[in-house]
Amino acid sequence: MRHPLPETLIPRRAGQQAITVNGALPEGATPRLAESYTLRAPVTVNLLFDTYGDDRVLVTGQLGTRVMGQCQRCLEPFETGLETEVEVEFGPEDSISDSEREIIPGIDKVLNLAEFVEDELLLGAPMVALHDEGTCVPPGEAPVQEAVVAGRRRPFGELGSLLGRKEPD
Ligand SMILES: [Zn+2]
């Protein structure tokens, strides 16, 4: 069964109906994600809810979007895909995990889909955004060719005049 993205759902019921939620979240639905990243594409959601064992619902699927982050090496902004595989279980309040999977208590509680998606994307997001190794350098560590040019410009000449300007007359 395929449904448009619901705003909320009850995990147990979604699991019993083996619902697939497939679509894109509306713009502005993930404000916490937007604090860290500038979204360049809608957040796409593809999740399957299914009953698992006696009292669990297993949720699997993928979430994705494209974001602008800031490279922590060269400090330049760059666009990158942000994708997360989801594999979590919903269980009763007193659930104890018997597997590697995260268990979220609240199988019978109303689940805000956008919040859940946002949580999972934030969990899966890299803590440090970086360009691929070797494709950029930190500011000040200019590539060889540019370093030669900078050397001819007397790199400390400007610094000296800036310091000089700060001295009182
Ligand atoms: Zn970089």
pLDDT values of the chain reduced to their tens digit, one per residue, 169 residues: 455 689 999 999 999 999 999 999 998 999 999 888 889 999 999 999 999 988 999 999 999 999 888 888 999 988 888 999 999 999 998 877 677 788 899 999 999 999 999 999 998 887 777 888 888 999 887 665 544 444 444 445 455 445 554 445 5
User: Residue 128 and residue 162: Cα distance in Å, rounded?
Assistant: 34
pLDDT value of residue 111:
97
pLDDT value of residue 74:
93
Kindly give the distance from the C-alpha atom of residue 127 to the centroid of ligand 1, in angstroms, as a whole number. Answer: 15
Kindly give the distance from the C-alpha atom of residue 78 to the centroid of ligand 1, in angstroms, as a whole number. Answer: 8
Residue ranges with CB less than 5 Å from ion ligand 1:
71, 73-74, 131, 136
pTM above 0.85, yes or no: no
Kindly give the distance from the C-alpha atom of residue 141 to the centroid of ligand 1, in angstroms, as a whole number. Answer: 12
pLDDT value of residue 2:
52
Q: Maximum CA pair distance of the chain?
A: 83
> What is the chain's length?
169
The DSSP letter of residue 135 is S
pLDDT value of residue 115:
96
Cβ(114)–Cβ(29) under 8 Å?
yes
Q: DSSP strand E in 38-110: where? A: 38-39, 44-52, 56-70, 77-91, 102-105
